[in-house]
Amino acid sequence: MTAVINATACGLIETARQHPDRIGKVLAGRDGILGALTEDLIDTSLETDADIARLKHTPGGAFGSCRYKLKSLDEHRAQYERLMQVFRAHDIGYFFYNGGNDSMDTAWKVSQLAQRMGFPLVCVGIPKTVDNDLAVTDNCPGFGSVAKYVATSMREAGYDVASMARSSTKIFVLEVMGRHAGWITAACGLAAEAEGEAPHILLFPEIPFDPEAFLARVQTCVERYGYCTVAVSEGLHAADGRLIADMGSQDAFGHAQLGGVGQIIAQLIKDRLGYKYHWALADYLQRSARHLASRTDLEQAYAVGVKAVELALAGRNAVMPAIRRLADDPYAWEVTVADLGEVANVEKKMPREFITPDGFHITGACRRYLQPLIVGEAFPPFRQGLPDYVRLRNQSVVRKLGEFAV
């Protein structure tokens, strides 16, 4: 999920409605690929133009989502064949799949099977992930808004901690998302524009955690500034590769289930240095904060939805709209095209030159990359003091096939 994921759906549906001679209607899989497998398809043509337009201001997946990965064709061939059956039954000629690394892998596999089976299907992946770790595209829709949120939160928390540091809390730790790539952690660093401003320390998954060096830096910050603020990625790991917050369980994609590294880091400081602390877990708040979305991010999310339809109508199979940066200042960008085969399962991590030599903060190059992505405000409409979001009817089409277990 991202704060602007529905803006992509809005761009796609609005563009599709401009081509009634080529696209009869757009069907959405309820809960993503699971809806396609179980033939639980939502008829978006029953939604008004006004409600579709309101998607642009609404967070969360309007049609649901899932944590479900299709495995190889050999392992799950029955599932891929089921998809083809559903597509045939409902006369589906275009398959759009919005998501991150695993979703682009799914779109790629579906495109390959359709070709192998001789089924006339055009598959277009659409980039979306707060992790900002998709290859080829300069940045990922959804990241700019989460970056704006965590940088804002860190700046505000920094002011709060500084006000009480002399007599109370001296340490604040914010845990953010990022399993292998520290883009969101880096974004927290945007809040520090001058010496001594929060955050003082950033802990990236790209840099093995060194407890002694970290504690020494914390001590220095407290002595110099009176307090210390830390942003830490959920994927922080030790020198031996062990995840600091590995809970021992796995998610639906086989990834280690993480959680609580912020508390672990805060408690380490308390145990070794004795400072009183507070820690926070941004969790779903960081990716659903539509009230603080980046205008740049919103515009890009909408644009890739529009481009996806244009590519499909042009017969461009197994591709993904990608953002190309043309200039940093003034910021300029365009939407280009990437091959899904070059994107699927390729993880883009933070370049080492974006992290300071000591491993604890971002460089000027990183700031130049990140800054344009959070620029601009795109407030949703408010009603009685709260954001006014839309809930669609989400009426399913009539099933034509039998049940299918997933």
Tens digits of residue pLDDT in 154-176: 999 999 999 999 999 999 999 99
Q: Residue 49: how many CB atoms within 10 A of its CB? A: 10
Half-sphere exposure of 213 (CA within 13 A, CB side): 13
Strand duo 228-233 + 331-339: pairing:
unpaired
Residues 6+ apart with CB under 8 A from 151: 187, 188, 189, 190, 191, 374
- The residues that bridge with 325 in the sheet, in sequence order, are 333
Q: Is residue 328 within 8 Å of residue 32, measured between CB atoms?
A: no
Q: Tens digits of per-residue pLDDT, 290-331?
A: 999 999 999 999 999 999 999 999 999 999 999 999 999 999
Extract the tokens encoding 237.
Answer: 């790991």
> What pLDDT was estimated at residue 108?
94
Q: Residue 26: how many CB atoms within 10 A of its CB? A: 21
CA distance 241 to 246: 11
In this predicted structure, which of 109-123, 237-251, 351-365, 391-405 has the lowest mean pLDDT?
Answer: 237-251
Instruction: Tell me the C-alpha to C-alpha distance, in Å, between residue 219 and each of 45, 200, 243, 356.
Output: 60, 11, 24, 19
> What pLDDT was estimated at residue 251?
43
β strands within 23-146, DSSP E: 27-29, 41-43, 94-99, 122-127
Closest by CA to 269, choosing from 212, 184, 330, is: 212
Q: How confident is the model at residue 221 (pLDDT cuts 50, 70, 90)?
A: very high
Q: Is residue 189 within 8 Å of residue 218, measured between CB atoms?
A: no
CA distance 371 to 148: 9
Query: If you write DSSP's letter for every residue of 34-93 in order, what string do you get?
Result: HHHHHT-EEEGGGS-HHHHHHGGG--S-TT---------TTTSHHHHHHHHHHHHHTT--
Say yes or no to pLDDT of 264 above 60. Answer: yes
> What pLDDT was estimated at residue 15?
98
Q: How far apart are the first and last CA of the chain?
A: 22
CA distance 201 to 208: 14
Q: Is residue 282 within 8 Å of residue 126, measured between CB atoms?
A: no
Q: What's the chain's average pLDDT? A: 94
Say yes or no to pLDDT of 246 above 80. Answer: no
Half-sphere exposure of 397 (CA within 13 A, CB side): 22
For residues 237-241, average pLDDT: 93
Extract the tokens encoding 357.
Answer: 């030599």
The SS3 of residue 43 is strand
The whole model's pTM is what?
Answer: 0.94
Checking phi first, is residue 384 left (phi over 0); if not, alpha (psi -120 to 50) or beta?
left
The SS3 of residue 322 is strand
Q: Is residue 295 within 8 Å of residue 377, measured between CB atoms?
A: yes
> What pLDDT was estimated at residue 75?
81
Q: Kindly state the percentage of the chain with pLDDT values over 90.
A: 89
Q: Tens digits of per-residue pLDDT, 63-114?
A: 999 888 787 777 888 898 999 999 999 999 999 999 999 899 989 999 999 9
Active site members: 131
- For residue 20, count CB atoms less than 10 angstroms from its CB and return exposed for 0-12, middle for 13-18, buried for 19 or more: exposed
